[in-house]
Structure 1
Amino acid sequence: MKIKIAARNSLLSKVQVNIVEAKLHDMGIETEFIGVKTKADYFISEPLYRLGQGVFEKEVNEYVINGEADIAVHSMKDLTTELDNRLCILATIKRDSPYDALVGSKDIYKIESKSVVGTSSIRRKNFITFLRNDLEVKDLRGNIDTRIRKLQNKEYDAIIVAEAAIKRLKLDVQYQQLNPIDFTPEINQGIIAIVGKKSRKELSTIRELDDKNTRDEATAERNASRIVGGGCHSPIGIFFKKEDNSLFGIASFSNGKRKITVEISSNKEPNIVGIELGKKLLEEMKNEGITI
């Protein structure tokens, strides 16, 4: 059996494909990589929040829908909460670090006033501004290696990226992990997702790669996001951690001036816990007179 894998052509995306390929090879499955350019790759100078939803996924998933590839491999945080109804998430690989990281010589609480911090995320931008309104936040686009190079070229004093990206690329950089209360991660950050067509029953063997705890965390986060109406380019962070049979969740919203954070701990089903956390955030925002 040979499986064609579609994914973005970025260095990080290829590393993630390599992770999936290694697991498939262990199952005796041959693979072929197909690199795809997405909207985000064509409009590299535009802030991500201006490009809309699905800018890292649509073109890749179209290869699967059109039969040009068997599966797609994504950073799960790039997937919209509502997939094309012809597709499904076949597997979620065991989660790497879900946290944000500040790359630079000092942590976010000690970096000098007026320092320039780079990020492509409206969520991170608003959290930084709320926490440290004396810093200058500057848009930062490009693949992770490009972002690091811009930092090394002194275009920024620090940048914020996903810790999982640093670890997957084995980057030799100085950084500090940001705590999830001040910087609640983007939904599904640190998770690699494998997407395929629902009609391709012969791909069911790929479900063996699914990690149950990761799937539960991802499900809770995606359901909370559906309730809140957030997305991968919204000022909302949602994070769940499964321990034993319980899910502990955090959801945060900030407009840069104010910040709302709510928490939940429950042993209910992931979809239910996610919905409850989403409703809890909306209720608290309503009480504070804040709308998205």
Structure 2
Amino acid sequence: MKIRVAARGSKLSLAQVKVVTDYLNSQGIETQLVEVKTRADLFSTAPLHKLGKGVFEKEVNEVVLRGGADLAVHSMKDLSSEMANELEILAMPKREVPLDSLVGKYELERLEPGSKVGTGSIRRKNLLKFLRPDLNVVDIRGNVDTRLSKLNSGQYDALILAEAGLRRLGITASRFTLSPLDFTPEPNQGIIAIVGHKDNTRLREILKELNHKETMEEARAERAVVKLVGGGCHSPLGVLFKKEGSKLEGIATYSDGSKKVTVTHSDSGVPEVVGEALARKLLKEMKNEGIIP
């Protein structure tokens, strides 16, 4: 049996694919990579928010829909809530550390005024502007290696990157993880999503042991917040849930750059219901602060 796996060709994407193919190979299953170029790869210098939704996922999923691959592997945070009806997330491996990290020589509070900090995320930009309005926050695109080379050449004083990506790539650069209360991560950060046809029960069964129940519950709760508040990689919304015993412990943050609202919520039960409760708390505080009417 051979399983064809569709994914982008970036180093980080391939590191995520390896998590899946290593598992499949351990089950005695041969795998084949189907590399896909996406709009985000073709327009690698354009700001992400200008490329629209689904820039990292659409073309990859279409390969599965056309029968050119059996599975698609994505960063869960890049998956929109509007997948084709025929497709479904079949499994999620255990989540990597979901936090943001400041990459550079100094911690955030020790950066000198005017220091140039690179990020391509509106959420991270707004949080930086709120916490350190004296910094020079500059847009940056490109893969992790490209960004790190710009940091090392002195074009930037620091970068903000996902700790999960740095770990998956084995990068040991000097860095400081950021508190989720200050820098609540992007929803579903650190999670790998394995997508396939809904009716492919054989693949679902094969992936059953790789699927991590707590990670899937965290992902479901976080996506429930996004559904109510609105979010994704083009939004200043941060959401993080952690399964602790029977409870889901959640943090949600929204910042427009001049104001920042952070709320927490803890409860057991259906992840979507817990997520919706956190979302309602956040929306209430956003209204109180005048961020929304």
TM-score higher than 0.5: yes
Q: Per-residue deviation at 1:248? A: 0.5
Q: Per-residue deviation at 1:291? A: 2.6
Q: Per-residue deviation at 1:150? A: 0.9
1: CA distance between counterparts of 2:237 and 2:204?
33
- 1:172-220 Cα offsets, whole Å, 9 max, x none, are 2000000001100001101111000112222122233110110110010
State which drifts further: 47-56 or 253-262: 47-56
Q: Note the 1:14-93 alignment, pairs <5 A.
A: 14-93=14-93
2: CA distance between counterparts of 1:16 and 1:191?
9
Q: Note the 1:1-292 alignment, pairs <5 A.
A: 1-205=1-205, 206-291=207-292
**Which residue identity does 2:249 align to in structure 1?**
F
**Which residue identity does 1:125 align to in structure 2?**
K
- 1:138-182 Cα offsets, whole Å, 9 max, x none, are 111001111111111111000000001111111120000000011
Q: Per-residue deviation at 1:81? A: 2.4
2: CA distance between counterparts of 1:101 and 1:81?
26
Count residues with an aligned counterpart.
Answer: 292
2: CA distance between counterparts of 1:174 and 1:259?
28
Where 1:209 maps in the other structure, the secondary structure is coil
Where 2:202 maps in the other structure, the secondary structure is helix
Where 1:183 maps in the other structure, the secondary structure is coil
Where 1:204 maps in the other structure, the secondary structure is helix
**Which residue identity does 1:154 align to in structure 2?**
G
Q: Unpaired runs of 5+ in structure 1? A: none
- 1:231-261 Cα offsets, whole Å, 9 max, x none, are 2220100000111111110000001000111
8 A Cα contact 1:285 1:291, kept in partner: yes
Q: Unpaired runs of 5+ in structure 2? A: none
- RMSD value, Cα: 1.1
2: CA distance between counterparts of 1:197 and 1:183?
35
Where 1:98 maps in the other structure, the secondary structure is coil
